[in-house]
Structure 1
Amino acid sequence: MRPEGLPESSSWPVVTPLSPSVVYSSQSPDALDDQYEGRAQGFTYSREGHPNAQVVAARLDAMEGAEGGVVTGSGMGAVSAVLMGLLKTGDHVIGGNQLYGRSLRLMAEDLPRLGIATTLADPGDVASVEAAIRPETKMVLVEVLSNPTLRLADIDGLAALCKAKGLLLVVDNTFTTPRAFRPFDHGADIVLHSITKLLAGHSDAMLGYVVAKDPALTERMRIFSVTTGMTPSPFDCWLAERGMLSFDLRFDRAEATAARLADHLAAQAGVKRVLYPGRADHPDHAGAMALLDSHGCNMVSFELDFGEGGARAGRAAANAFARAAEGLSFAPTLGDAGTTLSHPASSSHRGLTAEAREALGMSEGFFRVSVGLEEPEALLAVFTRAIAAATA
């Protein structure tokens, strides 16, 4: 199949060529007009688009059932394109109360500085979101599964609410991916991704993606991203395309191992609780299995049982666990080919007070695991040894 975005030819390369050129030459002013006004296909200046970004966008468009998606230089670029490209001074946006840490910071500090009001609400409770709506509310932004406690948003209920109130429903589909969930099929207006994570899958490409049902909204976000320089690197796009070719296989393997790991952790004496949507003891299990078509995804969160020693004992247990988890990367990321450990209290949610983290269910002994492609039995053995070290 001929890759989209390549020049016309009777033959083509099997691998998409890397196109690092910053500028593209046109034949004449009239030819340039034809490109800018949509009568001809072509590229002008790579900040406005380039072949490698077009190939990645086309792949994700097909996965999400969308058209014309925009690739940005990072996942936060995609979030910013939505919030700052579509909202204006005097508007109000509601966000899920367990969004990614930098999304929370953008809503708590940067948007108010620009005169855009924000409120956080529980996306699993439609009534709490409805109670936060104001006359100037324009948008609701949620993740399908919260970061890092893996609680489920009531997407169908939120979609019905937003439609009734004339609001845009924006869904960050990074954790779940189109393999488990397609937000447009459930009433979302805008979908975004951090391609950096599971889609690219190798921790070597940083990209984001955003697209709206309404092409006019997508165009506004594209113009904002071009104007503010959210240009994706051609090389990162080239790497991400390579990663996306194996995405389905990687997702299925990691998901199967994650289910085994969750059950294994739940059986360990040193573990206080395990959060995995595929387990019957997950608070949103029934809803998750219905919404995600029985997918549990590759993320597992758990809390060490470190006794009654308080935060200091919890941090000591967390340090001991991370040091003993040999072969695993302790890093604030997810979706790599290898399993990674994240400690919200010292990374993604370090900006919150200890009391605020506790209220959200994130103690010093709380870890988020992004399960990779290791041999399952070897991975379980690593966790067994690390838990023993943490609770010794």
Structure 2
Amino acid sequence: MKPTIIRPQGLPDSVSSPVVTPIMPSVVYASDTPDALDAQYEGRTSGYTYAREGHPNADVLARRIDALEGATGGIVTGSGMAAVTAALLGLCKAGDHVLGGDQLYGRSLRMMRDDLPRLGIETTLADPTDAASMEAALRETTRLVLIEVVSNPTLRLADLDGIAALCKARDILLVVDNTFTTPRAIKPFEQGADVVLHSVTKLLAGHSDVTLGWVAAKDPDLQRQLYDFIVTTGLTPSPFDCWLAERGLVSFDLRFDRAQRTAETLGRWLAGQAGVTRVLYPTRDDHPDRARAQALLRGTGGNMLSFEIEGGRAAANAFAAAAEGVAFAPTLGDVGTTLSHPASSSHRGLTPEARAAIGISEGFFRVSVGLEDPEALQDTFGAGLAAARGAR
């Protein structure tokens, strides 16, 4: 018998095509000749070579997110922090200065405080709700400004228009992390952003079963810098995770709208409960940035809300333990509601005084509202509040 080739090339011919995107886990792709490979690398033809440089599942997902954000050529990365890393390290060099909002995601803050300075990139944090505060922190060497439209976990609104105007006037790159808000609420490129990024892990994928990021630049030269950095440093996404995220993205609009309605309802209910001292939600009349939220978020409020209860850590422990069925977990964007306690998770590295300065007490909780019935959440949170009152 004639021996067979172990890896025969090609797939079976078919006059039909799959309705669902296939999972394509191949790490390598074969070309016909060295000339054909040259043509791919030189951009005269399109194709795949090695999965670290791109693969079909990542490109399918990237195109879908591009369409949501009004972008072209966005790149999927292995995590949201991989996207942040690509923007900060791929576009900056030693001697540059980076200005960040002072309530960025916890690991973004750590990168600003510890990692960038270690690599010779100076950093400063300032209040993004006040463009004057951000302007005062700019330097001659400022290369890039990184902000989130809505802060985590206090849900304050950045002065995006003011900051974008500052960056444009001084030729500084504006990078916006749109994870919290999502393109359903705001499209930062339309507001003057140069680079937009996401933790796709969160609401875009929406099921807490993938870890991915996405980043895109408006300028093609910047986009190429991002791509080269991502490929060189191996910030590569898994084909399977990309496939799962594409599936999750199909229901993104429906999930966002349902969770948003429930968040509004839950916020109103919480505000009327004994022992609740504060409720933060962008569309509420008592939100400190309500007017800005109306302008920037086009009337949306999103699925995130925060609230504060009396009684400190003892009450917080009692609430979390009694709110059965709601996962106490430092994440957001899942189909199920999750509860986060910033003082013991995302902001545990800050002193109590520093947490207090930004409005985070031991009784402060952040809620990522999912798809449950509002009455079910009220029952669950009611049990938690009753337990918290008993612990005071």
TM-score, with length taken from structure 1:
0.95
Partner Cα distance (2:143, 2:173) in 1: 6
Which residue does 2:189 correspond to in 1?
184
Give the 5 Å matches for 1:92-241. Answer: 92-241=97-246
Which residue does 2:4 correspond to in 1?
none
- CA 1:295–1:8: 2 relative to 1, 3 Å: farther
Note the C-alpha offset of 1:8: 11
Which residue does 1:3 correspond to in 2?
none
Partner Cα distance (2:15, 2:196) in 1: 36
TM-score, with length taken from structure 2:
0.95
Note the C-alpha offset of 1:111: 0.2
Moved segments of 4+, more than 2 Å: 6-11
Residue from 358, 363, 387 that aligns with 2:361: 363
Note the C-alpha offset of 1:10: 5.0
Note the C-alpha offset of 1:11: 3.0
Which residue does 2:337 correspond to in 1?
339
Note the C-alpha offset of 1:7: 12
Partner amino acid, structure 2, of 1:233: S
Partner Cα distance (2:302, 2:217) in 1: 24
Which residue does 1:378 correspond to in 2?
376
Sequence identity (%): 72
Partner Cα distance (1:195, 1:21) in 2: 22
- CA 1:35–1:249: 2 relative to 1, 3 Å: same
Partner Cα distance (1:360, 1:318) in 2: 19
2:198 alignment partner, SS class: strand
1:62 alignment partner, SS class: helix
Partner Cα distance (1:69, 1:86) in 2: 15
- RMSD between aligned residues: 1.3
Partner Cα distance (1:232, 1:167) in 2: 29
Which residue does 1:324 correspond to in 2?
322
Which residue does 1:292 correspond to in 2?
297
Deviations 1:348-385 (A, max 9, x none): 11111111111111111111000000011111111111
Which residue does 2:65 correspond to in 1?
60
Which residue does 1:45 correspond to in 2?
50
Partner Cα distance (1:136, 1:151) in 2: 28
Partner Cα distance (1:22, 1:7) in 2: 20
Deviations 1:293-326 (A, max 9, x none): 00000000011112xxxxxxx1111111110010
**Which 5+ residue runs of structure 2 have no aligned equivalent?**
1-10
- CA 1:9–1:361: 2 relative to 1, 3 Å: farther
Partner amino acid, structure 1, of 2:173: L
Q: Find the structure with the greater CA-based Rg.
A: 2
Deviations 1:263-299 (A, max 9, x none): 1111011111010001010000111011100000000
Residue from 237, 244, 261 that aligns with 1:256: 261
Which residue does 2:389 correspond to in 1?
391
Residue from 65, 69, 78 that aligns with 1:73: 78
2:240 alignment partner, SS class: helix
Note the C-alpha offset of 1:251: 0.2
Partner Cα distance (2:300, 2:106) in 1: 25
Deviations 1:10-35 (A, max 9, x none): 53211100001111111111111111
1:386 alignment partner, SS class: helix
